[in-house]
Amino acid sequence: MTHLKMLWTLSIITAQRMLRRKSTIVLTIVGLLPSIQVFLWVVGLHINMTPYGLFLQFLSSYYASLFVPLVAIFLGLGVINDEVETRNITYTLTRPIHPAVVAAGRFLGHYIVAAGVVIVCTIFVYLEGMIFQFGDLFAKIPVLIGACLFLSGGLLACMGVVSCLGTTWRRFAILGSVVWLIFDNVFALIPFDKVNALSIKYRMLASSFDSLPQAIFTLAPIEPGSLMMNMLVFLLIGALAITYMAWYLIQFEIVLSGSDASG
Amino acid sequence: MTMIDVQNVSKWYGEVSALNDVSLEVGPGILGLLGPNGAGKSTLLKLMAGQLRPSLGSVSVLGREYIGDHRLYSSIGLCPEQDALWDEFNGRQFLTCMLRLHGWETRDAQRRCDELLSMFDLVGAQNKRVGGYSKGMRQKLRIAQSFAHNPKVLFLDEPMSGLDASSRSLVADIIRDLGSQGVSIVVSSHILHEVEMLTKEMVVINQGQLRARGNVYEIRELLHDHPLQLEMTVSDPRQLSKALLDCEHVVRIELSDDQKDRLTVFTRRQNQFFEDLPRILKQQDIEIERLHAEDEDMEAVFKYLVH
């Protein structure tokens, strides 16, 4: 019970810190960029798609392919890394909180903000399209809910991967994240089920209730509708990431210069 | 009553030895940990605060060892040396969060926060972002968070760093007050004067080993026994050196080959030297341009204690 209470307290404090950072505001603005395209449709500037078509297009080509990995890299890399680099980790590691709870609380705090940004932006673009033309509104709402679920699930997995990279290779973490992102996209393109299963992007696209248009040419057909299975996989990746970071913090030592040594 | 027990502790960073077979017992009250930069005092402090694990030996605080016992931190406070704070928050929010991470309810944390802000003269800045605080204000906030939760053992790493004279006096009063209440406080510093403001009991550490333990008077004696080195620029260095050599406390004098108006005097009793010098200068009609004590800090004592 105490662990859960401390986990929640640390998560909320971490989320409050993240919300006060300018990078969070910048990310939100980046997340709202697709709304400009809807605006262009409204004023009739050569957008040959309905607002709902645009929404599905954004889900596929923008949110799942670009924005979620971007948010994961910007917010996920710092889960442990930022605290170590700024030496602020001292404040959490000298409280009566188990290091595993510190790792989980920090991750959860970052995730709450990141998922909030992704969901708010997705809903905003959906509502924008709904205002102008969605046809049968209530038939489309499950698609929006499904989209919010698979985007936040995919974000959890992406943040898990990126936060582990940030914890392990602090200086090369951005490079490592970009390399991982390339591999994730390549795995989504190769037309073999077992390879596709390694790709978080593919799993996000395959979780949609409605068929999504292909953002880039792919040989692999993406069948929609396996949301629950993919959500479990995303949760598993997130849990593994927290376990790894907890193991890292349990062994963590702060050395004279403020850098750290493990083991 | 032993509150901190360090037994035969050694610490290596790779092949570099930072501490070598250090044993130390600390009871209630304030203990100064003195040493030059790189002496190993921060390593020792971090070992005692559970931030590092000993390569050999054991550290126990309040009869318990750190490994696997994170709850021990509810009785321990640490003011880190590094200038790190949660810059996103204002002073009040930062202190409240620190207390909430100790399991305090928000209302109790707010009340304690009011006390601390008032105690450290930070009420006016409580709603300002910590990122915009001056160095002294940041240091006061770091000290405030370290004992906000009323710990039994407190570790302060260079607590006077960045503070102006009035803030030093304020912080010294607060720390002394905590020490008189029975809190075991270890203060690390490389400046004797700063530690003297807080306590008479101190430990000198250098090259990873404890060199001396005693009260400030004993350490001061060592300082007096060690020849103080003074560099002077005068109108007639040769005449002055002849006159100074008659003084019993002057050990030796070195004349500079490069700068003909300069000499270096080594004296065992600096107070006596400063009493004699004006008289000699007046008698010999010598003008003085510059007087500089080369080693008037702890560095000289540390060197003396080592050799």
CATH code at position B18: 3.40.50.300
> B165 and B59 in one domain?
yes
**Would the CB atoms of A17 and B53 count as touching at under 8 Å?**
no
Q: Taking the CB of residue B8, how many other CB atoms lie within 10 A of it?
A: 12
pLDDT at B268 over 80: no
**Higher-scoring residue by pLDDT: A39, B303:** A39
Kindly determine whether residue A6 and residue B101, on different chains, have CB atoms separated by under 8 Å.
yes
Per the DSSP assignment, residues forming a β-bridge with B288 are B234
What tokens appear for A10 in the block?
A: 């640390």
Note whether B237 and B92 are same-domain residues: no
ipTM score over 0.90, yes or no: no
Q: Are residues B234 and B201 in the same domain?
A: no
Interface of A with B (CB under 8 A): 2, 5-6, 9-10, 13, 16-17, 20-21, 86-88, 90-99, 253-256, 258, 261
User: Is the same domain home to B59 and B175?
Assistant: yes
Same domain as B151, residue B235:
no
Contacts of B80 in chain A (CB under 8 A): 87, 90
The CA distances from residue A180 to A25, A82, A201, in Å, are 25, 20, 12
Strands (E), chain B: 4-13, 16-26, 29-34, 56-61, 64-65, 76-79, 153-157, 184-189, 201-206, 209-215, 228-234, 250-255, 262-267, 288-293
Question: Does the predicted TM-score (pTM) go above 0.95?
Answer: no
Q: How far is A255 from chain B (nearest CA, A)?
A: 7
From CA A19, how far away is CA A30, in angstroms rounded? Answer: 15
**Cα angle B66-B67-B72, degrees, rounded to a multiple of 5:** 35
Domain boundary residue, one of B214, B246, B279: B214
pLDDT digits (tens, 9 = 90+) for A181-237: 999 988 888 877 788 888 998 899 888 877 777 655 555 666 666 888 999 999 999
Please tell me the total count of domains within chain B.
2
Q: Which residue in chain B has the smallest CA separation from A259?
A: B82
Least confident piece of the model among A34-38, A71-75, B210-214: A34-38
- Of the listed ranges A38-42, A73-77, B72-76, the one predicted with least confidence: A38-42
* Cα angle for residues B188, B193, B194 (degrees, 5° grid): 40
Domain boundary among B181, B214, B247: B214
B53 touches chain A (CB under 8 A): yes
Q: Which of B183, B214, B245 marks a domain boundary?
A: B214
Q: Which of A3, A7, A8, A90 to mutate to test the interface with B (most CBs of B within 10 A)?
A: A90
Please indicate whether residue A104 or residue A197 has the higher confidence score (pLDDT). Answer: A104
Residues B33 and B169 placed together within one structural domain of the fold: yes
What angle separates helix A137-168 from helix A99-132, to the nearest 10 degrees?
150
Q: Which residues contact A182 (CB under 8 A, 6 or more apart)?
A: none
Q: Which residues of B touch A258 (CB under 8 A)?
A: 82
What are the distances in angstroms from CA A172 to CA A94, A168, B10? 28, 9, 33
Domain enclosing residue B37, as ranges: 4-214
**B42 with B155, same domain?**
yes
Does residue B91 surpass a pLDDT of 60?
yes
